[in-house]
Amino acid sequence: MNRTFDWDAAGDALPLLLEGFRVTLLATVLGTLVAAVLGLAIAVAGRAPSRFVTVPVKAVMEFVRATPLLVQLVGAAALFTSVEPLTIGIVVLGVHYATYTSEVYRAGIDGVPKGQWEACRALSMSPRRTWRAVILPQAVRNVLPALGNYAISMFKETPFLAVITVHEMVFEARGYGADHFAYTEAFTLAGLVFLVASYPTSLLMRKLEKRLGH
Amino acid sequence: MSDFFSTLLDELPQVGAGLWVTAQATVLGSLLTLLLSFTLGLAAGSRLLLVRGVSRTVVEFFRGTSLYIQLFWLYYAMPQLTGYELTPLLCGVVAFGLNYGAYGAEIVRGAVNSVPRAQYEAAVALNMTPLHRMRKVILPQAWVQMIPPFTNLLIQLLKCTPLLWLISAADFMTTIEHIRSLTGETVTAYLLLLVVYFVLAYTLTLLMNLLERSAKRRLGLHTGGRGLFRTRTAEAVTTAGGAR
């Protein structure tokens, strides 16, 4: 079984992998969008004045956070068989990561000085206007780099989607490997594509973080 | 519903064996993680450029190339390339250990750097050898800082163990999947899986909180029992502005 790296097979597999990479990117971008919006909603709901809101929100969040993404994905796919796998993947990834991004937003909201809330009260602004015009603009700006970091880690978790037959990069790599008995080439290339895509992005994020962190 | 649980009872030995595989993967994987974290993390603080460079390269490599690829590479590609095959469980342990070890190295590096500079200087002034200084002064203080992020890492590792199902190791997920396919009880099966993983994660968190408390005690920092049951460590989100 001992064989060397076959460059021809690698060249052959690359177009297929890049095709899958498009789906990987799409899932990452849309999943991040879901996580960013839903995370904000959870963070704001977590500060609601009533315990009937905050306690269930926190409980669900803890549960989603502490359970495996793979089980959530496979479970959702088995329950909603009529929904397209890619849609399920994006929603489940988004919801899973929303429980993490909500933490980031929470810290961002806590970072807004108390005086800002008091000033809004003094100006008798409605709660809605307080959030929209005063608190969120200050909170969201600071959390952008952290959200970017979660986007990168979500990107590295998209291979999960292959399990529910989304045709992303790992799905294609596995298919190519099985068809041509060239797992080595397919998975090595797929790993390199991940590295090439994620490393510069994380460097960029670190730079952005430093700039915003004064 | 009752169908599912009666099949579960019939298959109880298998389920137990599956849970055992999951536990082994988690424990062995985290031991390898711990070992690599300290090796790579301490190497990252070395004075020699070569040692530092190797450590950074390894860390960036394993952080950058997705855990799933690493796992599949070990399982599918390595036997092709080298003719040498690992058992599925061992594939999982090695992949989890390498990947999370790379993340853990950053934790160790950060924690060691966060020990106040004066502590180093005092140890030098007392004429301690570097090894002695590390063991008696720096690490006990850094260790307290490391436990909360290591807890997060441990939970993440646990949450990745269902991947073993994909490389046909007979883990807990595999056995429940099997029962699901026998009975067709999709909702019950996945709910049970989620609940069991949640319980495992919460138990691990409690244990780590206990560990953190005893580590703090050793430094003379006493903490109350209240923090023991918290599920999440207060992560310092430095990017979020913090209190101004």
**Confidence at residue B232, expressed as pLDDT on a 0 to 100 scale:** 65
Test the A interface: residue of B57, B66, B176 with most A CBs within 10 Å:
B66
Contacts with A72 from chain B: Cβ below 8 Å: 194
Neighbours of B98 (CB within 10 A): 20
Chain A nearest-CA residue for B60: A199
Contacts with A104 from chain B: Cβ below 8 Å: 237, 239-240
**Confidence at residue A204, expressed as pLDDT on a 0 to 100 scale:** 87
CA distance B140 to B112: 10
CA distance A132 to A145: 21
**Confidence at residue A84, expressed as pLDDT on a 0 to 100 scale:** 92
Test the B interface: residue of A67, A95, A97, A196 with most B CBs within 10 Å:
A67
Write the pLDDT tens digit of every residue in A50-84: 889 899 999 999 999 999 999 999 999 999 989 99
Contacts with A194 from chain B: Cβ below 8 Å: 64-66, 69
Q: Residue A78 and residue B186: Cβ atoms within 8 Å?
A: yes
Q: Residue B194 and residue A63: Cβ atoms within 8 Å?
A: yes
Contacts with B163 from chain A: Cβ below 8 Å: 70
Name the pTM for this structure: 0.88
- Say whether pLDDT at A86 is over 90: yes
Q: Which residue stretches of chain B have pLDDT < 50?
A: 234-244
Write the pLDDT tens digit of every residue in B38-66: 999 999 988 899 999 999 999 999 998 99
User: Cα–chain-centroid distance for residue B146?
Assistant: 12
Residues ≥6 apart with Cβ < 8 Å to B201: A66, A67, B155, B158, B159
Indicate the average pLDDT of chain B. Answer: 88
Is ipTM strictly over 0.90?
Answer: no
**Confidence at residue A198, expressed as pLDDT on a 0 to 100 scale:** 87
What is residue B47's three-state secondary structure? coil
Write the pLDDT tens digit of every residue in A115-147: 999 999 999 999 999 999 999 998 888 888 888
**Confidence at residue B235, expressed as pLDDT on a 0 to 100 scale:** 47
Test the A interface: residue of B152, B163, B239 with most A CBs within 10 Å:
B239
CA distance B34 to B36: 6
Q: Residue A103 and residue B235: Cβ atoms within 8 Å?
A: yes
As to burial, measured by CB atoms within 10 angstroms (0-12 exposed, 13-18 middle, 19+ buried), residue B23 is middle
Q: How far is A202 from chain B (nearest CA, A)?
A: 9
What is residue A44's three-state secondary structure? helix
**Confidence at residue B197, expressed as pLDDT on a 0 to 100 scale:** 95
